[in-house]
Amino acid sequence: MSAVNIRHLTGGVTAVPGFKAGGVHAGIKKDKLDLAMIYNEKLCSAAGVFTTNLVKAAPLLLTMEHLKGGYAHGLVVNSGNANACNGPQGMADAKAMVKAAAKALGVDEGHMLVSSTGVIGQPMPMDKVITGIEKAAGELSPQGGHQGALAIMTTDTVPKEKAVQLEIAGRTVTIGGMAKGSGMINPNMATMLAFITTDALIGPQALRAALKEAVDDTFNMITVDGDTSTNDMVVVLASGAANHRPIEPKSGEYSAFVAGLKEVCSHLAQAIAKDGEGATTLLEVVVKGAKSLQDARLAARAVTGSNLFKAAVFGRDPNWGRIMCALGYSGAQFNPEKVDLFIGDEQVARDGGGIEFSEERATEILSKDKVTVTIDLKAGQYGATAWGCDLTYEYVRINGSYRT
């Protein structure tokens, strides 16, 4: 397949023609936007990937059930309350949110999805939530994507949006997305919320496969603190409005679509890692020369997840021994006496041992907004990239007072 020409757009979910969105203040939070909706009048192919945490919030379980049919018109999502660990009432509240959204939009309840994020174990203020849903439905707009991205934030410091265009089967296809996440982020699918829209014509089964492929290389390769949440999901809606021939698995059109989907997911994933709670630096770990793709991913994830190395990055300390240590417990198979390590373009270790390098130059590199660590295992032909952030005093402060 030839290289895919991907054009970057401003905006997010409503950069895709036919989709409307909005965000309102329902009163779950004191004064910030806290309820979002995404909607398309066309019945869309729909797919999702969900947290592997055994403890799953009611909205997530309900969305999983609704996605078995493979189609949806849209979703409603609130922030400020996770609706997790609330017993039978939690499921009743999730169903009430879907019912209210479906009624306001005039669609079948089974074709609406629901998501929540925020504090665990707190009752949902349903009177406020239902009023907010009705308000949001009345304010949906083709320009409302940014408001929606604002409304799903919790400890995020910035909204996270991305949109791209590419050509598929002679037609212009647009893919847009929004995400939230800055804490409880760990590569165990998917540990944050992300909602993606597209006008590509693709069936539910192929869409599900494409999403998994994209998630494995992006959202499953980020970590902030090693915690996997109860509510995390990635959902994609495909309206088919681009009206090209249907995308079939293993086709050139499928490969192009996956490339565009990965571009959106990669941008959102890196935005989440960069916005990690208290973070000052985006950490990118590039592993090459691995014996297998699994080994490459294990190695990259271990280094981005090492609290010792994350703390060293915050301290601007080129302590490469912590990288070797993380590689050693990663589960990847390699010969420790062959590993080369680079911080930025400064090589700090060769064949598993220390070499003379410029501490001053390495510290300067570690002081940048984005730091890339390159690891050559020299064991094979596979590679992978993972993203994380430094570990700061501010992370402890934020999470020491998150609920109160």
Instruction: Give me the DSSP letters along 257-281.
Output: HHHHHHHHHHHHHHHHHHT-TT---
pLDDT in the model for residue 224: 58
Q: Answer yes or no: do 259 and 370 share one domain.
A: no
Of 227, 250, 274, the one marking the end of a domain is: 274
**Is the pLDDT reported for residue 50 higher than 70?**
yes
Average pLDDT over residues 225-252: 87
Q: Answer yes or no: do 255 and 287 share one domain.
A: no
CATH number of the domain to which 338 belongs: 3.10.20.340
Q: Position 167: which residue type? A: E
Full-model pTM: 0.87
Q: Is residue 185 part of a domain?
A: yes
Q: Is residue 224 part of a domain?
A: yes
pLDDT in the model for residue 280: 83
DSSP bridge partners of 71: 45
Mean pLDDT is lowest, of 10-19, 205-214, 340-349, 385-394, for: 385-394
pLDDT in the model for residue 227: 53
How many folded domains does the chain comprise? 2
Q: Answer yes or no: do 60 and 145 share one domain.
A: yes
Q: Is residue 1 part of a domain?
A: no
Q: Answer yes or no: do 15 and 128 share one domain.
A: yes
Average pLDDT over residues 58-64: 96
Read off the pLDDT band of 186 (50, 70, 90): very low
Q: What is the dihedral of CA 94, 95, 98, 104, to 10 degrees?
A: -120
Residue 390: give the domain boundaries: 282-400
Encoding tokens for residue 221? 């390769």
CA 355 to chain centre: 37
pLDDT in the model for residue 54: 80
Q: Answer yes or no: do 365 and 250 share one domain.
A: no
pLDDT in the model for residue 402: 55
Read off the pLDDT band of 192 (50, 70, 90): confident
pLDDT in the model for residue 83: 94
Encoding tokens for residue 10? 């401003």
Read off the pLDDT band of 182 (50, 70, 90): low
**Is the pLDDT reported for residue 184 higher than 50?**
no
Please give the mean pLDDT across all residues of the chain.
Answer: 92
Q: Answer yes or no: do 350 and 387 share one domain.
A: yes
Is the Cα torsion angle 258, 262, 264, 268 positive or negative in sign? positive
State percent of the chain over pLDDT 90.
79
Q: Answer yes or no: do 373 and 254 share one domain.
A: no
Reply yes or no on whether 191 is catalytic: yes
pLDDT in the model for residue 95: 98
Options 14, 63, 191, 218, the catalytic residue: 191
Strands (DSSP E) found in 96-170: 112-119, 160-168
pLDDT in the model for residue 229: 66
Q: Answer yes or no: do 266 and 133 share one domain.
A: yes
CATH number of the domain to which 205 belongs: 3.60.70.12
Encoding tokens for residue 391? 């570990």
Mean pLDDT is lowest, of 85-94, 250-259, 288-297, 389-398, for: 389-398
Contacts of residue 246, Cβ cutoff 8 Å, sequence gap at least 6: 201, 202, 203
**Is the pLDDT reported for residue 47 higher than 90?**
yes
d(CA 225, CA 359): 27
pLDDT in the model for residue 392: 78
Q: Is residue 54 part of a domain?
A: yes
CB 22 within 8 A of CB 178: no
Pick the most confident of 152-156, 163-167, 182-186, 214-218.
163-167
Q: Answer yes or no: do 295 and 194 share one domain.
A: no
**Is the pLDDT reported for residue 323 higher than 90?**
yes
Q: What count of Cα atoms within 13 Å lies in the side-chain half-sphere of residue 155?
A: 27
Read off the pLDDT band of 201 (50, 70, 90): very high
Q: Answer yes or no: do 256 and 330 share one domain.
A: no
CA 307 to chain centre: 21
Report which DSSP code applies to 169.
T
Peptide bond connecting 190 to the previous residue in cis, omega within 30 degrees of 0:
yes
Average pLDDT over residues 322-331: 96
Average pLDDT over residues 119-130: 94
Read off the pLDDT band of 187 (50, 70, 90): very low
- The single residue listed with the structure tokens 């020491």 is 400
Encoding tokens for residue 290? 């691995």
Q: Answer yes or no: do 264 and 290 share one domain.
A: no
Q: Answer yes or no: do 187 and 167 share one domain.
A: yes
Q: Is residue 2 part of a domain?
A: no
**Is the pLDDT reported for residue 191 higher than 50?**
no
Of 274, 307, 331, the one marking the end of a domain is: 274
Of 218, 242, 274, the one marking the end of a domain is: 274
pLDDT in the model for residue 399: 67
